[in-house]
Amino acid sequence: MTDVAASLSQFQQPRSLTPLFGDFVRWFMKSRITRTLTPCKSDRTRHHGLRHASTLVRKICAIAGEPSLIEDIRVEFELNGLSAAVLRHDNQKIYDWLMDVFSYQGVADAVAEAYLDQHGRITQLDVRRALSVDRGSCPKLESYWHFENCGYRKTAQNCNRPEHYALCPLPTHDLRNGSLNQAAYSLHFFLRDVAAGDIVRWIDKQLRSADRPFAPNRAQLLCNALLEPLSHVHGVSYKVLSMSLASLLLAGDPRRTRWVIAGAAMIVVDTLVHAWLHRTGILRSLSASHAYGPRCYGPNGCASIIDQLARRIDARRFNPDFPKTFPRFVQKAIWRFCAQSEVNRCNGNQIDDRARCQDDSCPLYARCERVALDPNRN
C-alpha cells in the first residue's frame, strides 16, 4: 500500500510538469513569431513584383503624366456648359453628353466622329418626343426595368417583341448600331425611373450612403456605388462608364469632395494599358496573367493592380493640388506612354509582339522584362 500511495502522490504534484509546460509555451510563441515575421515565398514574390512595378510606373508618370489633367477637364466643362449643368441639376445636358461619350465605344474615334457629324446626335429631348407619341404601347417601353432585353437589331430590323416593331420609336433614330439605340432609351429610363429625374442628386445620394471616411478602401466603395447600378444600362461597358464618370466627377463641381475622390479612383483599362502591363512583366510577376477582357476588372486584374501601384505613388509630386492617391492619373500616364497619338512608345505599331521588344532606346528598357505579347502568332 505504501508503494501505491507513493506512486499516486507523484501524479498529484503538478509542479513536476511545470518545466515541460514552460518549454512548450516558449517553443510555441517563438514558432508563431517566426511564422509572422517571415513572409512565405508567395508573399516575397508579390512584394518584389510590386516593387518592380512601382519603379516602372513612377518613371511612366514622370514621362507621360499630365500635371494639368484635372484643370484641362474643368476648362473643357466650362466651355461646353457641363459645369453649369451640374450646378443647376440639368438632367438633359448631362444625358446628351453621356450619350456622346457612349457613341465612341467599340470603334475608332475618327469613325464615330464622322458618323455623328453625318447623322447627328441623339438627345434626351429626341427620346422624350418619340415616347410621347402613341406608337402601339410596347410593354418594353413602360419603364427602365421593363426595357431589359429589348433586343432591337438595326441590321436585322427586328427585336424581341416583333409584334410591336412596326410602331416602335427606337428605329426612328439613325444611330451607328442597334445597341446604341437601346443604350439611349435605357439611359433615359434610368435617369427617369432610378435617378428620379435628377442624376446629380442621385450621385450625391449614392456617394453619401456608401461613404466610410476612415475605411482603407473608401475610394473604391464610392466608385462601386455608382458603377454597379449604372453598369446595368444597356450596352455600356465598364471602360466607357469609368472614363465618362471619371471626368464628370473630377471636374463637375470641385466643391463636391466625394465626387473628386471617386473620380480620381476610376480606372479605364483598354488594350494599350493591358498590353503594357503584360509586356513589362508586371502581370507575370504578380501571378496575374490573363487575356484582355472582363478579367481586367476582376480580382488581381489590371484595374486592381493599377490601384495598388497608385497607393505607392504620391501624385502631389506632379501637381500639389492632386489627391495623394490618384489611380486615374497613373492609368492615364500609362495610356499616354503607349498611345500612338501621344508618346507612342509601347504599342503594336512600334513592337513586333511575336518576340521580346528590341527597342533599347526606350527609357524603360533597362528595367522592363520585355515579355512577348503574342509569341505564337504567325
Radius of gyration over every alpha carbon of the chain, rounded to an integer in angstroms: 28
pLDDT for the residue numbered 4? 46
pLDDT digits (tens, 9 = 90+) for 318-335: 999 999 999 999 999 999
Q: Which residues contact 196 (CB under 8 A, 6 or more apart)?
A: 202
C-alpha cell at 54: 512601382
pLDDT digits (tens, 9 = 90+) for 52-77: 999 999 999 999 999 999 999 999 99
C-alpha cell at 118: 453625318
The C-alpha cell 509582339 sits at 353
Is residue 289 assigned to a domain? no
State the number of CA atoms in the 13 A half-sphere of 273 facing the CB.
Answer: 25
Is residue 348 assigned to a domain? no
**Integer CA distances (angstroms), 177 to 14, 73, 100, in order:** 84, 29, 14
pLDDT for the residue numbered 134? 65
pLDDT for the residue numbered 335? 97
pLDDT for the residue numbered 19? 56
Residue 315 has pLDDT above 50, yes or no: yes
Compute CA 15 distance to the chain's CA centroid, rounded to the nearest angstrom. Answer: 63
Burial class (CB in 10 A: 0-12, 13-18, 19+), 162: exposed
Residue 40 has pLDDT above 60, yes or no: no
The C-alpha cell 501637381 sits at 319
Burial class (CB in 10 A: 0-12, 13-18, 19+), 177: middle
Is residue 134 assigned to a domain? yes
Is residue 304 assigned to a domain? no
Is residue 175 assigned to a domain? yes
Calculate the CA dihedral of residues 269, 248, 330, 279 and round it to 10 degrees: 20
Please state the domain count of the chain.
1
CA distance 137 to 213: 47
pLDDT digits (tens, 9 = 90+) for 248-285: 999 999 999 999 999 999 999 999 999 999 999 999 99
Which of 139, 183, 186, 181 is closest to 160 using CA atoms? 139
**Integer CA distances (angstroms), 209 to 31, 212, 226, in order:** 44, 9, 11
DSSP one-letter string for 27-74: HHHHHHHHHHHS--HHHHHHHHHHHHHHHHHHHHHHHH--TTHHHHHH
Query: What does the DSSP 8-state code read for residue 153?
Result: B
The total number of residues shown for the chain amounts to: 378
Is residue 137 assigned to a domain? yes
Q: Angle at which helices 238-251 and 257-264 pack, to 10 degrees?
A: 140
Is residue 63 assigned to a domain? no
CA distance 11 to 1: 16
pLDDT digits (tens, 9 = 90+) for 88-145: 999 999 999 999 999 988 888 888 889 998 988 999 999 999 999 866 679 999 999 9
pLDDT for the residue numbered 15? 47
C-alpha cell at 273: 494599358
Give the domain extent around 128: 90-197
Is residue 155 assigned to a domain? yes
